[in-house]
């Protein structure tokens, strides 16, 4: 009697869905000259369940340690997913679940991204994003899935006690833009993002 073959497992099923934050560490190929790596490969990441199309690349430079940028997001119809990496220095990168109805609403993941290590954080639509520089002279690059649309940009206060994010700088000592100082907290915030059934989990590292 022949045993039917088991269906082949979907390789993407071993990875988090695209609506969940993900830490990506591209492989580096080193030799006596230094190293080379692909910082983004659409086909490879699509095979791991992250099938997204980027339309714009952004880059920021922060002069001082303790600079905080965030917490930012764009509302529909121009909501953005982001793939963030440090290209100089180190940052603490944060993604906050702001999907209404989510059992992990208001919770966050925080990870250190370094130019030396090449780590990247995927921040899906439905998450507020921000980072704090951990040293002077930091540059951060990120790819986004929709164009910058000023009429849709929004944010939350990075130091909202309801979030309790352990930033590595005291709120009164953080270097902020004027705009970021005016954002409010979760109280009274009406999220435009719907929960899709994927709660935030602490596991971020790509298998």
Spatial CB neighbours of 69, under 8 Å, sequence gap ≥ 6: 60, 62, 130, 131, 140, 177, 180
Res 102: pLDDT: 97
pLDDT (tens digit per residue) in 45-100: 999 889 999 999 999 999 999 999 999 999 999 999 999 999 999 999 999 999 99
Euclidean distance between CA atoms 191 and 199, whole angstroms: 16
Q: What is the pLDDT of residue 202?
A: 75
Residue 105 belongs to some domain of the structure: yes
Query: Strand (E) positions, the chain?
Result: 22-24, 29-31, 34-36, 56-62, 68-74, 82-88, 90-97, 108-114, 120-123, 127-133, 138-144, 153-155
Q: List all residues 6 or more positions away from 2 whose beta carbon is below 8 Å from its beta carbon.
A: none
Q: State the average pLDDT for the chain.
A: 91
Q: Residue 56 domain-assigned? A: yes
Q: Look at residue 58 in the predicted model and tell me its pLDDT.
A: 98
Q: Where in the sequence is the domain holding 78, given as residue range(s)?
A: 39-181
In this structure, the number of other CB atoms found within 10 A of the CB of residue 114 comes to 16
Q: What is the pLDDT of residue 8?
A: 45
Structural domain contains residue 19: no
Examine residue 139 and state whether it is found in any structural domain, yes or no: yes
How many whole angstroms from its chain centre is CA 74?
A: 13
Q: Quote the number of domains for the chain.
A: 1
Helix H segments across 127-204? 178-181
| pLDDT bucket at 206, cuts 50 / 70 / 90 | low
Position 173 pLDDT exceeds 90: yes
Q: For the segment 9-24, what is each residue's pLDDT rounded down to a tens digit?
A: 445 455 778 899 999 9
Q: What is the pLDDT of residue 9?
A: 46
pTM: 0.90
Cis status of the peptide bond prior to 83, with omega within 30 of 0? no
Asked whether residue 91 is assigned to any structural domain, the reply reads yes
pLDDT value at position 16?
73
Which residues belong to the active site? Answer: 72, 142
CATH code assigned at 126: 2.60.120.10
């Amino acid at each position: 009697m022949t045993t039917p073959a088991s269906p082949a497992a979907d390789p993407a099923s071993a990875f988090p869905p695209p609506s969940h934050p993900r830490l990506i560490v591209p492989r580096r190929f080193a030799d006596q000259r230094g190293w080379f790596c692909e910082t983004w490969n659409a086909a490879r990441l699509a095979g791991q369940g992250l099938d997204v199309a980027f339309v714009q690349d952004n880059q920021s430079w922060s002069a001082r340690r303790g600079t905080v940028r965030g917490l930012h997001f764009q509302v529909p119809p121009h909501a953005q997913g982001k793939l963030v990496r440090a290209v100089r220095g180190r940052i603490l990168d944060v993604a906050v679940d702001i999907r209404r109805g989510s059992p992990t609403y208001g919770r966050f993941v925080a990870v250190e991204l370094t130019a030396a290590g090449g780590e990247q954080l995927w921040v899906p639509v439905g998450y507020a994003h921000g980072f704090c520089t951990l040293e002077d002279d930091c540059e951060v690059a990120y790819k986004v899935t929709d164009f910058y649309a000023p009429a849709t940009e929004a944010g939350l206060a990075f130091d909202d006690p309801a979030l309790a994010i352990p930033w590595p700088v005291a709120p009164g000592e953080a270097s902020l833009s004027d705009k970021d100082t005016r954002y409010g907290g979760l109280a009274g915030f009406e999220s435009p993002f719907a929960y899709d059934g994927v709660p935030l989990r602490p596991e971020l590292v790509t298998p």
